[in-house]
Amino acid sequence: MTVSIIVAFITGVLGPLLVLFIKNKLEKKVEKPDMVLETLKVSELVMTKLDHIKDEFKADRVWVAQFHNGGNFYPTGKSMAKFSIIYESVAPSVSSIQGNFHNIPVNLFSRSINQLLEHDRIEISDFKDETIATYGLKYIAEDTGCKSGYLFAIKCIEGRFIGMLGIDYTKKKIKLNDEVITSLLVQSTSIGGVLMNHLEQ
């Protein structure tokens, strides 16, 4: 009888405790990634790409904006679609625009964002040329000193539109050729991969 009590005690009490102990040990080994550390790694990757783009294509300002929600409409409670410039690389003596573009409602730039959604890019080699469509961006170019600007849709593998890559020329007008445009489309896809990998963790 003493043996059966000991066996019952081991299987009934110590067994579940042992299972919990092993489970806790295994869960600690598979820790969730540190959010701050992951954000810093992604930031470093994106900034390296932006610096490379700025240097390779002799741009004055290169930036990435991402879409996010930003509050709710009253009284429906529906989420507002907004965007913010999250990453930016600027050449010496070129002003930053990152601080001016936070929590911007998407509807304020509906013409340009629709163009990016449908055609993946906007090419404006000269903001002062009246024959070139600027999609409502001309006044922004004047405020930010941009003479030529190129925007590229950042999409994830599934095709969702998650952000924009912007290339600004502030010192002189620049017309990029088709080969460069294709290269920048590839760069925007690469940035999309980095951002989506981070967002899915």
pLDDT digits (tens, 9 = 90+) for 23-66: 666 666 556 667 888 888 999 999 999 999 999 999 999 999 99
Q: Quick one: tokens of 178?
A: 């088709």
| Separation of alpha carbons 81 and 107, rounded Å | 8
> Looking at 15-19, 86-90, 113-117, 152-156, which range is the least confident one?
15-19
Averaged pLDDT for residues 15-21? 55
The per-residue pLDDT for 198 is 59
**142 Cβ neighbours under 8 A, 6+ residues apart:** 127
DSSP labels, 47-58? HHHHHHHHHHTT
Cα dihedral across residues 40, 67, 180, 147: positive or negative = negative
Q: Which amino acid is at 54?
A: K
At 36 the pLDDT is 86
Using a cut of 0.85, tell me whether the model's pTM lies above it: no
Q: What is the mean pLDDT of the chain?
A: 87
Taking residue 180's Cβ as centre, other Cβ atoms within 10 Å add up to 15
Q: What is the pLDDT, as a whole number, of residue 144?
A: 95
Q: What percent of the chain has pLDDT over 90?
A: 67
Q: Is 164 helix (H, G, I), strand (E, B) or coil?
A: strand
Q: What is the DSSP string of 72-104?
A: E-TTT-PEEEEEEEEEEEE-TT----GGG-SSE
* pLDDT band of 78, cuts 50, 70, 90: confident
What end-to-end distance do the CA atoms of the chain give, in Å?
Answer: 54
Res. 21 pLDDT band, cuts 50 70 90: low
Q: Residue 123: is its pLDDT beyond 60?
A: yes
72 pLDDT band (50/70/90 cuts)? confident
Burial of 57 (0-12, 13-18, 19+ CB in 10 A): middle
